[in-house]
Amino acid sequence: MLQAPLPNDEERRLSALYEYRILDTPAEEAFDRVIRLVCRLFSVPMATITLVDRDRQWFKSSCGVDACETERGISFCGHVVFQGAPLIVPDTHEDPRFADNPLVTGPPYVRFYAGVPLTTYDGLHIGVLCVQDKQPRPQGISADELANLTELAAMTLDELELRKAKSQVDAEQEIARRVINCATQNEVLGSPGVRHYYRPAERLSGDLLLAGRRSSDGALLFLLGDFTGHGIGAAVGVPALAGKFYDQIELGVGSEQILGRLNDHLCKHLPPDMFLTAALIEVSQRDDGIHLAVWNAGLPSILLISEQSQATHFASEGLPLGIVSSTSIQAAGLEYHLPPAKSRLYACSDGVVESRTADGSMLAIDGLEKTLRDSPSEARFDVVVKLMEDAREHNSRDIDDITFLELDFDNLSAMLSQ
Protein backbone atom coordinates (compact mmCIF):
# COMPACT_ATOMS: atom_id res chain seq x y z
CA MET A 1 0.00 0.00 0.00
CA LEU A 2 1.25 3.45 -0.90
CA GLN A 3 0.34 6.25 1.50
CA ALA A 4 -0.23 9.61 -0.18
CA PRO A 5 2.43 12.25 0.57
CA LEU A 6 1.39 15.56 2.11
CA PRO A 7 0.96 18.50 -0.27
CA ASN A 8 3.55 21.27 -0.06
CA ASP A 9 0.79 23.73 0.92
CA GLU A 10 -0.65 21.44 3.61
CA GLU A 11 -0.98 24.07 6.34
CA ARG A 12 -2.64 26.57 4.00
CA ARG A 13 -4.89 23.80 2.75
CA LEU A 14 -5.96 22.86 6.27
CA SER A 15 -6.50 26.50 7.20
CA ALA A 16 -8.79 26.90 4.18
CA LEU A 17 -10.68 23.73 5.13
CA TYR A 18 -11.22 24.89 8.71
CA GLU A 19 -12.60 28.24 7.51
CA TYR A 20 -15.66 26.40 6.23
CA ARG A 21 -16.45 25.16 9.77
CA ILE A 22 -18.04 22.08 8.29
CA LEU A 23 -16.15 19.18 9.81
CA ASP A 24 -18.35 17.00 12.05
CA THR A 25 -21.53 18.92 11.17
CA PRO A 26 -24.86 17.12 10.67
CA ALA A 27 -26.14 15.99 7.29
CA GLU A 28 -27.45 18.74 5.01
CA GLU A 29 -29.82 18.24 2.13
CA ALA A 30 -27.82 20.36 -0.33
CA PHE A 31 -24.89 17.93 -0.11
CA ASP A 32 -27.00 14.78 0.14
CA ARG A 33 -28.71 15.81 -3.09
CA VAL A 34 -25.34 15.86 -4.88
CA ILE A 35 -24.51 12.35 -3.69
CA ARG A 36 -27.87 10.97 -4.79
CA LEU A 37 -27.37 12.51 -8.22
CA VAL A 38 -23.82 11.13 -8.49
CA CYS A 39 -24.98 7.61 -7.63
CA ARG A 40 -27.66 7.75 -10.33
CA LEU A 41 -25.40 9.21 -13.01
CA PHE A 42 -22.61 6.69 -12.46
CA SER A 43 -24.72 3.71 -11.38
CA VAL A 44 -22.49 3.13 -8.37
CA PRO A 45 -23.40 1.83 -4.91
CA MET A 46 -20.94 4.14 -3.13
CA ALA A 47 -20.17 7.85 -3.32
CA THR A 48 -18.85 10.40 -0.85
CA ILE A 49 -18.18 14.07 -0.39
CA THR A 50 -14.89 13.70 1.44
CA LEU A 51 -13.08 16.42 3.37
CA VAL A 52 -9.46 15.56 4.09
CA ASP A 53 -8.41 16.63 7.58
CA ARG A 54 -4.92 16.43 9.09
CA ASP A 55 -5.14 12.76 10.13
CA ARG A 56 -8.47 11.60 8.75
CA GLN A 57 -10.88 11.82 5.88
CA TRP A 58 -14.40 12.79 6.94
CA PHE A 59 -17.54 12.31 4.86
CA LYS A 60 -19.90 15.27 4.74
CA SER A 61 -22.32 13.14 2.74
CA SER A 62 -22.13 9.53 1.63
CA CYS A 63 -24.03 6.64 0.12
CA GLY A 64 -23.19 3.00 0.69
CA VAL A 65 -20.51 3.76 3.25
CA ASP A 66 -21.17 2.90 6.90
CA ALA A 67 -18.31 4.85 8.47
CA CYS A 68 -18.38 8.64 8.83
CA GLU A 69 -14.59 8.85 8.59
CA THR A 70 -11.45 6.76 8.06
CA GLU A 71 -7.74 7.26 8.58
CA ARG A 72 -6.15 9.61 6.10
CA GLY A 73 -3.18 7.26 5.68
CA ILE A 74 -5.29 4.60 3.97
CA SER A 75 -7.45 6.98 1.95
CA PHE A 76 -7.71 7.11 -1.81
CA CYS A 77 -8.78 10.73 -1.48
CA GLY A 78 -5.45 11.67 0.08
CA HIS A 79 -3.84 10.90 -3.29
CA VAL A 80 -6.33 13.19 -5.08
CA VAL A 81 -5.60 16.01 -2.63
CA PHE A 82 -1.83 15.52 -3.07
CA GLN A 83 -1.85 15.52 -6.85
CA GLY A 84 -4.64 18.11 -7.19
CA ALA A 85 -6.08 16.23 -10.15
CA PRO A 86 -8.61 13.45 -10.82
CA LEU A 87 -7.70 9.92 -9.84
CA ILE A 88 -9.20 6.96 -11.72
CA VAL A 89 -8.51 3.42 -10.49
CA PRO A 90 -10.32 0.92 -12.78
CA ASP A 91 -9.39 -2.12 -10.65
CA THR A 92 -7.78 -1.73 -7.26
CA HIS A 93 -6.56 -5.35 -7.34
CA GLU A 94 -4.42 -4.49 -10.35
CA ASP A 95 -3.00 -1.27 -8.86
CA PRO A 96 0.01 -1.78 -6.55
CA ARG A 97 -0.76 1.45 -4.72
CA PHE A 98 -4.07 0.06 -3.44
CA ALA A 99 -4.12 -3.73 -3.84
CA ASP A 100 -3.41 -4.38 -0.15
CA ASN A 101 -5.25 -1.30 1.15
CA PRO A 102 -7.58 -2.16 4.10
CA LEU A 103 -10.44 -0.45 2.25
CA VAL A 104 -9.86 -2.92 -0.60
CA THR A 105 -9.17 -6.12 1.33
CA GLY A 106 -11.89 -5.33 3.87
CA PRO A 107 -15.14 -3.34 4.05
CA PRO A 108 -16.26 -1.62 1.93
CA TYR A 109 -14.20 -3.75 -0.54
CA VAL A 110 -13.46 -1.01 -3.06
CA ARG A 111 -12.61 -2.38 -6.55
CA PHE A 112 -13.25 0.78 -8.59
CA TYR A 113 -12.56 4.39 -7.61
CA ALA A 114 -12.91 7.73 -9.39
CA GLY A 115 -12.42 11.02 -7.55
CA VAL A 116 -11.97 14.68 -8.45
CA PRO A 117 -10.69 17.35 -6.07
CA LEU A 118 -12.84 19.92 -4.30
CA THR A 119 -10.73 22.96 -5.07
CA THR A 120 -11.30 26.32 -3.40
CA TYR A 121 -11.38 29.57 -5.33
CA ASP A 122 -7.80 30.07 -4.12
CA GLY A 123 -6.70 26.78 -5.68
CA LEU A 124 -6.44 24.74 -2.48
CA HIS A 125 -7.64 21.14 -2.56
CA ILE A 126 -9.66 20.56 0.61
CA GLY A 127 -11.44 17.35 -0.32
CA VAL A 128 -12.78 15.06 -2.98
CA LEU A 129 -16.02 14.09 -4.67
CA CYS A 130 -15.66 10.41 -5.46
CA VAL A 131 -17.57 7.35 -6.68
CA GLN A 132 -16.72 3.75 -5.83
CA ASP A 133 -17.89 0.29 -6.77
CA LYS A 134 -17.41 -3.19 -5.37
CA GLN A 135 -16.86 -4.41 -8.93
CA PRO A 136 -13.96 -3.41 -11.18
CA ARG A 137 -14.59 -1.20 -14.19
CA PRO A 138 -11.76 -2.00 -16.58
CA GLN A 139 -12.87 0.75 -18.92
CA GLY A 140 -12.65 3.37 -16.16
CA ILE A 141 -14.87 6.34 -16.97
CA SER A 142 -15.37 8.26 -20.19
CA ALA A 143 -14.32 11.84 -20.83
CA ASP A 144 -17.97 12.95 -20.52
CA GLU A 145 -18.34 11.13 -17.23
CA LEU A 146 -15.19 12.76 -15.90
CA ALA A 147 -16.53 16.14 -17.02
CA ASN A 148 -19.79 15.46 -15.19
CA LEU A 149 -17.99 14.48 -12.00
CA THR A 150 -15.80 17.58 -12.25
CA GLU A 151 -18.84 19.83 -12.71
CA LEU A 152 -20.55 18.25 -9.71
CA ALA A 153 -17.41 18.78 -7.64
CA ALA A 154 -17.43 22.45 -8.61
CA MET A 155 -21.11 22.69 -7.62
CA THR A 156 -20.27 21.08 -4.28
CA LEU A 157 -17.55 23.64 -3.68
CA ASP A 158 -19.99 26.43 -4.57
CA GLU A 159 -22.39 25.04 -1.98
CA LEU A 160 -19.58 25.05 0.59
CA GLU A 161 -18.87 28.69 -0.26
CA LEU A 162 -22.54 29.63 0.10
CA ARG A 163 -22.67 27.87 3.42
CA LYS A 164 -19.57 29.70 4.62
CA ALA A 165 -20.92 33.05 3.44
CA LYS A 166 -24.23 32.45 5.21
CA SER A 167 -22.41 31.55 8.42
CA GLN A 168 -20.41 34.76 8.20
CA VAL A 169 -23.55 36.82 7.59
CA ASP A 170 -25.30 35.11 10.49
CA ALA A 171 -22.36 35.89 12.78
CA GLU A 172 -22.25 39.52 11.65
CA GLN A 173 -26.01 39.89 12.09
CA GLU A 174 -25.77 38.47 15.59
CA ILE A 175 -23.13 41.07 16.45
CA ALA A 176 -25.33 43.78 14.94
CA ARG A 177 -28.33 42.51 16.91
CA ARG A 178 -26.38 42.70 20.15
CA VAL A 179 -25.19 46.23 19.31
CA ILE A 180 -28.76 47.30 18.59
CA ASN A 181 -30.03 45.72 21.81
CA CYS A 182 -27.40 47.58 23.82
CA ALA A 183 -28.32 50.83 22.06
CA THR A 184 -32.07 50.53 22.54
CA GLN A 185 -32.73 48.83 25.86
CA ASN A 186 -32.92 50.86 29.04
CA GLU A 187 -34.50 50.78 32.47
CA VAL A 188 -37.59 52.80 31.50
CA LEU A 189 -38.83 50.00 29.23
CA GLY A 190 -38.66 47.66 32.22
CA SER A 191 -40.49 50.00 34.59
CA PRO A 192 -43.93 49.35 36.11
CA GLY A 193 -46.58 50.73 33.80
CA VAL A 194 -44.61 49.96 30.64
CA ARG A 195 -45.09 46.74 28.69
CA HIS A 196 -43.77 46.10 25.22
CA TYR A 197 -43.65 43.27 22.72
CA TYR A 198 -40.98 43.18 20.04
CA ARG A 199 -40.64 40.56 17.33
CA PRO A 200 -38.49 41.08 14.21
CA ALA A 201 -39.46 39.45 10.94
CA GLU A 202 -35.81 38.51 10.51
CA ARG A 203 -32.82 38.42 12.85
CA LEU A 204 -32.62 42.21 12.63
CA SER A 205 -35.54 44.59 12.71
CA GLY A 206 -36.28 47.95 11.16
CA ASP A 207 -38.53 48.70 14.13
CA LEU A 208 -37.18 50.58 17.10
CA LEU A 209 -38.57 51.41 20.53
CA LEU A 210 -36.64 53.91 22.61
CA ALA A 211 -37.55 55.29 26.02
CA GLY A 212 -35.91 57.62 28.48
CA ARG A 213 -36.48 60.20 31.20
CA ARG A 214 -35.71 63.79 30.28
CA SER A 215 -33.25 65.44 32.60
CA SER A 216 -34.90 68.87 32.60
CA ASP A 217 -38.40 67.97 33.81
CA GLY A 218 -38.48 64.20 34.48
CA ALA A 219 -40.90 63.55 31.62
CA LEU A 220 -40.91 60.08 30.09
CA LEU A 221 -40.38 60.01 26.35
CA PHE A 222 -41.09 57.03 24.10
CA LEU A 223 -40.04 56.92 20.45
CA LEU A 224 -41.54 54.13 18.39
CA GLY A 225 -40.28 53.96 14.84
CA ASP A 226 -40.30 51.82 11.72
CA PHE A 227 -37.60 52.25 9.09
CA THR A 228 -38.58 51.43 5.52
CA GLY A 229 -37.99 47.74 4.86
CA HIS A 230 -36.76 45.23 7.42
CA GLY A 231 -33.72 43.11 8.07
CA ILE A 232 -30.19 44.46 8.08
CA GLY A 233 -30.90 47.17 5.50
CA ALA A 234 -33.49 48.75 7.77
CA ALA A 235 -31.68 48.06 11.03
CA VAL A 236 -28.44 49.86 10.18
CA GLY A 237 -29.90 53.22 11.20
CA VAL A 238 -31.07 52.15 14.64
CA PRO A 239 -27.92 52.49 16.82
CA ALA A 240 -26.99 55.99 15.61
CA LEU A 241 -30.56 57.25 15.95
CA ALA A 242 -30.82 55.75 19.43
CA GLY A 243 -27.63 57.53 20.46
CA LYS A 244 -28.97 60.83 19.12
CA PHE A 245 -32.28 60.38 20.94
CA TYR A 246 -30.67 59.62 24.29
CA ASP A 247 -28.23 62.50 23.93
CA GLN A 248 -31.13 64.92 23.49
CA ILE A 249 -32.97 63.54 26.52
CA GLU A 250 -29.85 63.84 28.64
CA LEU A 251 -29.51 67.46 27.52
CA GLY A 252 -33.13 68.13 28.55
CA VAL A 253 -34.23 69.14 25.05
CA GLY A 254 -37.96 69.67 24.44
CA SER A 255 -39.94 67.17 22.40
CA GLU A 256 -40.40 69.46 19.40
CA GLN A 257 -36.68 70.14 19.23
CA ILE A 258 -35.89 66.44 19.61
CA LEU A 259 -38.06 65.65 16.60
CA GLY A 260 -36.39 68.36 14.56
CA ARG A 261 -32.89 67.19 15.41
CA LEU A 262 -33.71 63.54 14.75
CA ASN A 263 -35.16 64.58 11.42
CA ASP A 264 -32.05 66.55 10.53
CA HIS A 265 -29.87 63.58 11.50
CA LEU A 266 -31.82 61.16 9.31
CA CYS A 267 -31.97 63.54 6.35
CA LYS A 268 -28.20 63.83 6.53
CA HIS A 269 -27.35 60.15 6.99
CA LEU A 270 -30.10 58.08 5.33
CA PRO A 271 -30.14 57.28 1.60
CA PRO A 272 -32.90 59.10 -0.33
CA ASP A 273 -35.19 56.06 -0.46
CA MET A 274 -35.21 55.51 3.31
CA PHE A 275 -37.17 57.26 6.04
CA LEU A 276 -38.63 56.57 9.47
CA THR A 277 -42.31 56.48 10.24
CA ALA A 278 -42.45 57.31 13.92
CA ALA A 279 -44.44 58.32 16.96
CA LEU A 280 -43.20 60.33 19.92
CA ILE A 281 -45.10 59.94 23.17
CA GLU A 282 -44.42 62.24 26.12
CA VAL A 283 -45.81 61.49 29.57
CA SER A 284 -45.23 64.11 32.26
CA GLN A 285 -46.46 64.84 35.78
CA ARG A 286 -47.90 68.29 36.46
CA ASP A 287 -49.85 69.84 39.31
CA ASP A 288 -53.18 68.83 37.81
CA GLY A 289 -52.09 65.27 37.00
CA ILE A 290 -50.50 63.37 34.18
CA HIS A 291 -50.17 65.11 30.85
CA LEU A 292 -49.93 63.19 27.61
CA ALA A 293 -48.57 64.44 24.30
CA VAL A 294 -48.59 62.33 21.14
CA TRP A 295 -47.01 63.00 17.77
CA ASN A 296 -47.66 60.44 15.04
CA ALA A 297 -46.15 60.43 11.58
CA GLY A 298 -46.94 57.40 9.49
CA LEU A 299 -47.67 54.79 12.17
CA PRO A 300 -51.09 53.27 12.85
CA SER A 301 -53.37 55.33 15.05
CA ILE A 302 -52.28 55.36 18.67
CA LEU A 303 -55.18 54.34 20.91
CA LEU A 304 -56.06 55.69 24.33
CA ILE A 305 -58.51 53.26 25.97
CA SER A 306 -60.39 54.44 29.05
CA GLU A 307 -61.53 52.30 31.97
CA GLN A 308 -64.96 52.22 30.32
CA SER A 309 -63.35 50.95 27.08
CA GLN A 310 -63.88 54.19 25.21
CA ALA A 311 -61.22 54.81 22.58
CA THR A 312 -59.47 58.00 21.51
CA HIS A 313 -57.41 57.92 18.32
CA PHE A 314 -54.18 59.79 17.75
CA ALA A 315 -53.98 59.42 14.00
CA SER A 316 -50.97 60.05 11.82
CA GLU A 317 -50.69 63.74 10.97
CA GLY A 318 -46.98 64.50 10.76
CA LEU A 319 -44.46 63.77 8.04
CA PRO A 320 -42.14 60.79 8.62
CA LEU A 321 -38.63 61.62 9.74
CA GLY A 322 -35.91 61.84 7.14
CA ILE A 323 -37.97 62.97 4.16
CA VAL A 324 -37.81 66.77 4.30
CA SER A 325 -34.90 68.64 5.86
CA SER A 326 -37.09 71.41 7.23
CA THR A 327 -37.76 70.87 10.94
CA SER A 328 -40.63 73.33 11.21
CA ILE A 329 -43.35 70.79 10.47
CA GLN A 330 -42.14 68.23 12.96
CA ALA A 331 -43.99 69.75 15.92
CA ALA A 332 -47.35 69.63 14.12
CA GLY A 333 -49.86 67.59 16.07
CA LEU A 334 -47.93 67.61 19.37
CA GLU A 335 -50.72 68.58 21.75
CA TYR A 336 -51.07 67.91 25.46
CA HIS A 337 -54.00 66.05 27.01
CA LEU A 338 -55.16 64.91 30.42
CA PRO A 339 -55.85 61.19 29.98
CA PRO A 340 -58.82 59.79 31.93
CA ALA A 341 -58.12 57.99 35.17
CA LYS A 342 -57.19 54.31 34.80
CA SER A 343 -56.72 54.68 31.05
CA ARG A 344 -53.99 53.03 29.01
CA LEU A 345 -52.25 54.00 25.79
CA TYR A 346 -51.42 51.56 22.98
CA ALA A 347 -48.99 52.18 20.14
CA CYS A 348 -47.70 49.81 17.50
CA SER A 349 -45.81 49.47 14.27
CA ASP A 350 -47.73 48.54 11.13
CA GLY A 351 -46.70 44.90 11.53
CA VAL A 352 -49.38 44.63 14.22
CA VAL A 353 -52.35 45.94 12.21
CA GLU A 354 -51.18 44.09 9.08
CA SER A 355 -51.11 40.74 10.88
CA ARG A 356 -53.58 38.10 9.73
CA THR A 357 -56.24 36.76 12.05
CA ALA A 358 -57.30 33.12 12.24
CA ASP A 359 -59.73 33.56 9.32
CA GLY A 360 -57.02 35.07 7.12
CA SER A 361 -58.26 38.65 7.26
CA MET A 362 -56.05 41.57 8.22
CA LEU A 363 -56.42 42.74 11.81
CA ALA A 364 -56.35 46.44 10.83
CA ILE A 365 -56.68 49.30 13.28
CA ASP A 366 -60.41 48.65 13.72
CA GLY A 367 -59.73 45.06 14.70
CA LEU A 368 -57.02 46.13 17.13
CA GLU A 369 -59.35 48.69 18.71
CA LYS A 370 -62.14 46.13 19.05
CA THR A 371 -59.76 43.61 20.61
CA LEU A 372 -58.57 46.17 23.15
CA ARG A 373 -62.05 47.43 23.98
CA ASP A 374 -63.49 43.92 24.36
CA SER A 375 -60.73 42.78 26.72
CA PRO A 376 -60.39 43.53 30.45
CA SER A 377 -57.81 46.26 30.98
CA GLU A 378 -55.39 43.93 32.77
CA ALA A 379 -55.56 41.38 29.94
CA ARG A 380 -55.44 43.65 26.87
CA PHE A 381 -51.69 43.48 26.31
CA ASP A 382 -51.54 39.70 26.63
CA VAL A 383 -54.53 39.23 24.32
CA VAL A 384 -52.89 41.27 21.56
CA VAL A 385 -49.56 39.48 22.01
CA LYS A 386 -51.37 36.15 21.68
CA LEU A 387 -52.91 37.39 18.44
CA MET A 388 -49.46 38.30 17.15
CA GLU A 389 -47.99 34.92 18.07
CA ASP A 390 -50.87 33.09 16.41
CA ALA A 391 -50.50 35.24 13.28
CA ARG A 392 -46.79 34.43 13.08
CA GLU A 393 -47.45 30.72 13.49
CA HIS A 394 -50.05 30.56 10.73
CA ASN A 395 -48.64 33.19 8.34
CA SER A 396 -44.88 32.93 8.76
CA ARG A 397 -44.23 34.00 5.16
CA ASP A 398 -46.37 37.11 5.39
CA ILE A 399 -45.05 38.76 8.53
CA ASP A 400 -43.46 42.12 9.24
CA ASP A 401 -41.45 43.47 12.15
CA ILE A 402 -43.80 43.83 15.12
CA THR A 403 -43.60 46.27 18.02
CA PHE A 404 -46.45 46.81 20.46
CA LEU A 405 -46.40 49.18 23.45
CA GLU A 406 -48.76 49.60 26.41
CA LEU A 407 -48.54 52.50 28.88
CA ASP A 408 -50.53 52.19 32.12
CA PHE A 409 -50.87 55.75 33.43
CA ASP A 410 -51.71 54.76 37.00
CA ASN A 411 -48.41 52.93 37.38
CA LEU A 412 -46.54 55.61 35.45
CA SER A 413 -47.91 58.26 37.82
CA ALA A 414 -46.18 56.59 40.75
CA MET A 415 -42.93 56.49 38.81
CA LEU A 416 -43.18 60.13 37.71
CA SER A 417 -43.83 61.26 41.28
CA GLN A 418 -40.49 59.86 42.46
**Mind listing the pLDDT tens digit for each residue in 251-271?**
999 998 899 899 988 888 888
pLDDT at 158: 96
Range 12-26 average pLDDT:
95
Give the per-residue pLDDT at 224: 93
Query: Average of pLDDT values for 181-199?
Result: 79
Q: Residue 153: what pLDDT?
A: 97
Amino acid 227 reads: F
CA dist list (Å): 372 to 30, 188, 330: 47, 24, 29
Q: Rounded mean pLDDT of 214-220?
A: 91
| pLDDT for res 174 | 66
Element (H, E) at 83: helix 77-83
Amino acid 269: pLDDT? 81
Per-residue pLDDT of 133-171, as tens digits, reads 999 999 999 999 999 999 999 999 999 999 998 887 776
What number of other Cβ atoms are within 10 A of residue 287's Cβ?
Answer: 4
Average pLDDT, stretch 176-198? 74
pLDDT at 327 over 70: no
CA distance 77 to 116: 9
- Preceding peptide of 239 cis, ω within 30°: no
pLDDT number for residue 241: 82
- Report the b/e string of 336-370 with b at 16+ CB within 10 A: eeebeeebbbbbbbbbbbbbbbeeeeebebebbbe
Q: Which residue has the higher pLDDT, 16 or 243?
A: 16
The pLDDT of residue 176: 55
Average per-residue pLDDT for the chain: 88
Other beta carbons within 10 angstroms of residue 114's beta carbon come to: 26
Within a 13 Å sphere around the CA of 84, how many CA atoms are in the beta-carbon half? 12
Q: Is the pLDDT of residue 203 over 70?
A: no
Note the pLDDT of residue 289: 81
pLDDT band at 185 (very low <50, low <70, confident <90, very high): low
Using CA atoms, how far apart are residues 123 and 120, in angstroms rounded to an integer? 5
pLDDT tens digits, residue range 328-341?
A: 545 555 777 888 88
Distances (CA, A) of 224 to 131, 368, 389: 58, 17, 20
Contact 348, 300 (CB under 8 A): yes
Q: DSSP 3-state assignment of 264?
A: helix
**The pLDDT value given to residue 186:** 75
- Give the lowest-confidence range in 14-23, 108-117, 321-330: 321-330
Cα–Cα dist 21/36, whole Å: 23
pLDDT tens column, 232-253? 555 666 777 888 888 999 999 9
Percent of the chain with pLDDT over 90: 59
Name the band, by pLDDT with cuts 50, 70 and 90, for residue 319.
Answer: confident
pLDDT of residue 55: 96
Q: Work out the average pLDDT over 19-29.
A: 95
pLDDT band at 65 (very low <50, low <70, confident <90, very high): very high
Does the global pTM surpass 0.85?
no
Would the pLDDT of 182 be above 70?
A: no
Which whole number is the average pLDDT over 362-368? Answer: 93
